[in-house]
Amino acid sequence: MLLRCVDDQLSFVVESPASAQAAAAQLRASGEWLEVVPGIDSVVVQFDIAKIDAAGAERRVQEQLAGGVRSLPESHELLEIPVVYGGEYGPDLDDLCMTLRLSTDEFIALHSGRDYRVEMLGFTPGFAFIGELDGRLHVPRRAQPRQRVAPGSIGIADAYTGMYALASPGGWTLVGRTPHQLFDPQAAEPFPVRAGMRVRFRPVDAAEFES
C-alpha cells in the first residue's frame, strides 16, 4: 500500500471505487481521523497534527487496514432519475451524436438502458460520478469548460456520467437535465444521492420536466 504525506494528510491508492468506499468506511469507524475522503481510485486521510505526526498516522492507517479491506454490502437501493435529453436541457447532445455516429434515440437507449453505481461524490458538493458508461458513449471532457452549468444537469466524460447537484463551472458534455431535486438544504440529508447507491436514468419529455 503506497502512502504519501502532504502536510496533515495521507493518501493511498486502491483498486476500485468500491474499494475506496470500503476502506474509507473502515477507517472512519476508528474515530481517529479528522476526515476520510474516498475517490475513484484513492483515499485521503486527514489527521490532527497536534496529536500525531505523519509517520504515526501512516502506521495507524496500515494497522487499521492490515487485515484487508472488508467489502461493503451491495446496495439494493435503486434511485430513478428522470431526464430530459437534448434541446436546451442537453445542449451538447446533437453534436455528440454526430461525433459518435449515433441517432439521438440510440444514444438515449444506450444511456438509459442500464443500472449504474454512484462511484463517488466530489468536485463540488453533491456532484456524482456515476459509472460505468457503455464503451460506445465514451468521450473526453470539453476543451472549453462552461462558466456555469445549471443544477440537475447530466453530463458525460470518459467512462462516467456526471450529475450536477449545484450550479457550477463544468467541462462535461451535457446531454440532459433532471427535475429531481439533488440538493435540499432543509432535508436531514441535503444530498439524496450517495456513493454506492444504484441509479437508473428514465427519459421524460419537457412537459413532465416542467410539471
pLDDT digits (tens, 9 = 90+) for 31-65: 999 999 888 888 999 999 999 998 899 999 999 98
Strands (E), the chain: 3-6, 9-13, 35-38, 42-46, 78-85, 116-121, 128-131, 146-149, 153-157, 160-163, 168-170, 173-177, 198-203
Residue 22 has pLDDT above 90, yes or no: no
- Residue 14's pLDDT is 86
- Tell how far CA 27 is from the center of its chain: 20
Residue 2 has pLDDT above 80, yes or no: no
Enumerate the H helices of 12-84 as residue ranges: 17-28, 54-64
Would the pLDDT of 164 be above 90? Answer: yes
Cα torsion through 6, 7, 8, 10, rounded to 10? 10
Instruction: Please say if the pLDDT value at position 3 is more than 80.
Output: no
Distance CA 26, CA 66 (A): 11
For residue 174, name the pLDDT band (cuts at 50, 70, 90).
very high
pTM across the whole model: 0.84
Q: pLDDT over 90 for what percent of the chain?
A: 66
Q: What pLDDT was estimated at residue 72?
A: 67
Q: Give the model's pLDDT for residue 73.
A: 67
The CATH H-level superfamily of 78-210 is Cyclophilin-like (2.40.100.10)
Summarised one tens digit per residue, pLDDT across range 63-89 is 998 877 777 666 677 899 999 999 999
Res. 27: pLDDT tops 70: yes
The domain segmentation of the chain, as residue ranges, is 3-64, 78-210
What pLDDT, on the 0 to 100 scale, is given for residue 81? 96
pLDDT in tens, 104-146: 999 999 999 999 999 989 888 899 999 999 999 999 999 999 9
Q: In this predicted structure, what is the pLDDT of residue 76?
A: 72
Q: Which CATH architecture has domain 3-64?
A: 2-Layer Sandwich (3.30)
